[in-house]
Amino acid sequence: MKQAQDAFESLVTKDFSTASFDDVKTVALAMWHENFVPRVDHLTDFSAQAAGYVVDKLMRFNCVSQELKRRLCELVARLRATVKISPVEVKGCDKLAQQWGLMCDLKLQVRQLLEFQTRHYSHV
């Protein structure tokens, strides 16, 4: 399995229509259960928008601790402040992705993560 940062970068540097479920799962599990906060300072504008969406999407789940949620909110705020975002309207696309200016989303992959969305999930 890829390391969380590698999976995150693979995820946000490509169109979500070609996103690997393994990358989504790796990032989600690391964020939800290992307090993973991705590094984003080196990303292009498009990748930063995608990164903002991924972090914004995954931090909304109840399995994220309050401390991690605070750190992720700061990251999202920093991305919003540094990247020019032009919201779009795309039928069938996640509203959050549209707010980040993206034409594609990860809702199908995120639905597959249901069994991992618990504070009691054990990855060992």
Quote the CA–CA distance of 88 and 102 in Å, as a whole number. 7
Looking at residue 80, its pLDDT comes to 95
Identify the pLDDT of residue 116: 65
The alpha-helical segments, DSSP class H, found in the chain are 4-12, 21-34, 45-58, 66-82, 95-99, 107-111
| Residues 34-77 pLDDT 10s | 999 999 999 999 999 999 999 999 999 888 899 999 999 999 99
**pLDDT tens digit string along 78-98?**
999 999 999 999 999 999 999
CA distance 27 to 18: 16
Whether the per-residue pLDDT at 120 is higher than 70: the answer is: no
Distance CA 40, CA 47 (A): 9
pLDDT for position 124? 46
Residue 118's pLDDT band (cuts 50, 70, 90) = low
